[in-house]
Amino acid sequence: MQHIRFFAFTLLIALTILAGCTTTPRDRTPSSTELEARLQLQLAGMLDAGDYAGAAGLLENAALMSESPLREALLLKAAGYWLKAADQERSLRLVETLKPTPEPSDFNFELRMLRTELAVLQGDIEKALDLMQPEPSADTPLELRVHYHRNMAEIFRLSGNLLESARELDVLDALQAEDLEGRLATQELLLQTLSTMTDTALSLLQPQPPATLIGWMELARIVKQQISDPLALNKQLAQWRERFPDHPAMQPLLAGLLEQQGLTPDDHIAILLPRSGPYAKVATAVRDGFMAAWYQQPAEYRPKLQFYDTSTLQETLSVYQSALLNGAQMIVGPLNKDAVKMISRLELLDIPVLALNQIEAREDPFDARNPNLIQFGLAPEDEAEQIAERAWLEGHRSALILTPSNDWGKRLADSFRNRWIRLGGQVVEQQVYNPTDNDFSVPIRMLLNINESEARIRALVTQLGYKLEAEPRSREDGDFIFLAARSQKARQLRPQLRFFRAGHLPVYTTSHVYSGISDPTLDRDLGKIEFVDTPWLLEEGQQGALSRQELEKLMPGVKGAYARLYAMGIDSYNLLPQLRNLQDQPGRLFNGKSGTLYLDRDNRIHRLLAWAQMDQGLASISGYAPRLEMPGLETLDPSAKETIEPNLQPADPLPPVEDHNLSRPTPVR
């Protein structure tokens, strides 16, 4: 998937411009031809090595020895490579030195596209949309028109307008008729984009015939059902093709949907979960979600499952060995973070292991040895980073941070802060509160600088010698508040923020603010707080046996605090046949119940979540949390990374354990 920050300016275009430039060489300045040949050789080596900063520097140096218009062409390419090297500042600095030519030209178009991408990274979506106008004419070179519509699709995606993003991808698909590989990637992204939309949206937003987008929407509805019976899926795809015989969907795309049904009775899966101890109830929810997905597969296709008890940490490795000896071909688990560490330290993993927790590479460097270890957890760090990106794209620049004074709060604060700073944002104040308190006036007053305002009033009264009619004022340099709080505390904190005149500030928080149980009476106190969460938890009118509404009839626990873990269990099963594809294509998206999932280069699964809002005590999806880049896939500036490295404390990212009654999994028919 292409992202705005990493759009490439191809060497072919660069050399075409160079070849078309004529200059009057100065002393000791190479000719255009010589410069072209040398750049071609050096650039090719640098680009093959992924050294975009080196390529940018090379072009800048070449520009110093060149005349116009070659000089400007080289600087434009250099700016593009600085952006690919994640050095937004140097890219912007170069772009500001470049001026459009008086007459329309490809140079002007490329300059406009680069300015657009920089505007997006600065969070100015409106400016980006303005820069994208006008649309290129039909005689604009094909590669530039492809660039334009790819940019537009990404801008709409980042702004949460998935339908318009899909429209642009539909246009892009038509432009890529000669590029079969690129076209297939575009169609996959188009289908993934529409599959992220709710069934209601897919029904209500269909365009008028004969638009090809209608066929794409209907295909997305089939994908969203996650049909596990290959014969049933093949039948639905055949019926779809009969309805849309001239649709441009490529056969490899449809074949790929069938290949996803990869589990068979010959597959042997071992599940390592604790049956007792502090993680037993969490494990039960994950197991029941896993089993619900297993029961959805027709009996003749179901793989063999064998459960192993990992309640005792010391027995983790012996249980793993037992699973191997018993013929397991894949392992799901363990759940405990320390158990995952033990597995990661094995010199060799013989079979794929989908661990149900995550450890950071800096926390335990041994895990890098094991390409067969895939880590999947409901990491709150993903949520905090997506909140930072959403706030940035909404135009905010100054953040206030309020988190609990415990390890969980520190992890969320560090994740948010570091992502926010990397985007270019400023943290104007950060405070912590005691999660055991009920009165949060002290940290809130400090967060809003009310304490300093009161101190100034007292000093003035002392100096003047008489009482003043003055009220303390809250700070005005914060754009929004990043709040980390469980639902009960959030219901107390939000009214107190309003009391101290912070009611006008948007409040963004994580999924922990929502219990998963609709309770308008209690949640009314949250006001219009915004948060990221598991889409499966919030989508109304979901269809299919694995929808939350259907599973509630069979598993009462789905209504409780463990709902997100049921979604994780469903995804754990459905991910198994996808792991190889996800590993082969870092950044490839999988539309899961716990979010839109992808695997980074460190074999960690990340979730792209729904953006939700609480209004009148009711939670509903208002969009989707965008990503400017995908963790583990971007090229980072090493110096920038060092200055803001998160100081995360080792702690288990699982949600708090609360009592609930859970029946045994019942076959879903």
In contact, 578 and 228? CB cutoff 8 Å: no
Average pLDDT over every residue of 529-540 = 88
pLDDT for residue 498 is more than 70: yes
pLDDT for residue 353 is more than 70: yes
Position 626 confidence tier, pLDDT thresholds 50, 70, 90: low
Average pLDDT over every residue of 78-105 = 91
Tokens of 434: 């005691």
- Cα–Cα distance between 284 and 298 in angstroms, integer? 23
pLDDT reported for residue 524: 92
All residues at 6 or more sequence positions from 260 whose CB lies less than 8 Å from its CB, including other chains: 577, 578
Burial of 449-465, coded b for 16+ CB within 10 Å and e otherwise, reads bbeebeeebeeeeeeee
How many Cα atoms are found within 13 Å in the side-chain-facing hemisphere of 493? 29
Average pLDDT over every residue of 52-67 = 90
pLDDT for residue 242 is more than 90: yes
pLDDT for residue 68 is more than 90: no
pLDDT for residue 87 is more than 60: yes
pLDDT for residue 574 is more than 70: yes
pLDDT reported for residue 649: 29
Highest mean pLDDT, choosing among 152-161, 324-333, 547-556: 324-333
pLDDT for residue 637 is more than 70: no
- Cα–Cα distance between 195 and 226 in angstroms, integer? 11
pLDDT reported for residue 647: 29
Tokens of 343: 């597995």
- Cα–Cα distance between 107 and 577 in angstroms, integer? 46
3-state secondary structure of 375: strand
Position 99 confidence tier, pLDDT thresholds 50, 70, 90: very high
Average pLDDT over every residue of 477-506 = 93
Tokens of 573: 């099963």
- Cα–Cα distance between 263 and 574 in angstroms, integer? 9
Residues 423-479 have pLDDT tens digits of 889 999 999 999 999 999 999 999 998 755 555 545 555 666 656 555 656 678 899
pLDDT for residue 29 is more than 70: no
Q: Which DSSP string corresponds to 614-635?
A: EETTEEEEEEE---SS-TTTSP
pLDDT reported for residue 639: 30
Q: Fill in the amino acid letter for 531.
A: F
Residues 110-124 have pLDDT tens digits of 999 999 999 988 878
- Worst-scoring range by mean pLDDT, 21-30, 271-280, 368-377, 422-431? 21-30
Tokens of 332: 């799901």
In contact, 579 and 331? CB cutoff 8 Å: no
Average pLDDT over every residue of 210-236 = 87
Highest mean pLDDT, choosing among 141-155, 445-459, 585-599, 614-628: 141-155
| Residues above pLDDT 70, as percent of the chain | 82
Comparing 647 with 608, which gets the higher pLDDT?
A: 608
Rg of the Cα atoms in the chain: 27
pLDDT reported for residue 518: 86
Can you give the pTM of this predicted structure? 0.77
Comparing 454 with 582, which gets the higher pLDDT?
A: 582
Tokens of 562: 């463990």
Q: Fill in the amino acid letter for 327.
A: G
Q: Which DSSP string corresponds to 213-253?
A: HHHHHHHHHHHHTT---HHHHHHHHHHHHHH-TT----HHH
Average pLDDT over every residue of 366-377 = 78
- Worst-scoring range by mean pLDDT, 171-175, 245-249, 370-374, 474-478? 474-478
Residues 638-657 have pLDDT tens digits of 233 332 332 222 233 333 33
Q: Phi/psi at 612 (nearest 5 deg)?
A: -125, 160
For residue 429, the cross-strand partners are: 400
pLDDT reported for residue 440: 95
All residues at 6 or more sequence positions from 454 whose CB lies less than 8 Å from its CB, including other chains: 445, 472
Helix locations, 576-633, DSSP H: 579-584
Position 361 confidence tier, pLDDT thresholds 50, 70, 90: low
In contact, 260 and 270? CB cutoff 8 Å: no
Task: Please report, to the nearest 10 degrees, the dihedral formed by the alpha carbons of residues 596, 602, 603, 606 taken in order.
Answer: -20
Q: Phi/psi at 429 (nearest 5 deg)?
A: -165, 145
Position 559 confidence tier, pLDDT thresholds 50, 70, 90: confident
Comparing 341 with 467, which gets the higher pLDDT?
A: 341
pLDDT reported for residue 289: 96
| Residues above pLDDT 90, as percent of the chain | 51
Helix locations, 506-612, DSSP H: 520-523, 535-538, 548-552, 563-575, 579-584
Average pLDDT over every residue of 33-55 = 81
Helix locations, 85-205, DSSP H: 88-96, 106-121, 125-131, 142-158, 162-175, 180-195, 199-204
Average pLDDT over every residue of 166-173 = 96
In contact, 73 and 36? CB cutoff 8 Å: no
Position 2 confidence tier, pLDDT thresholds 50, 70, 90: very low
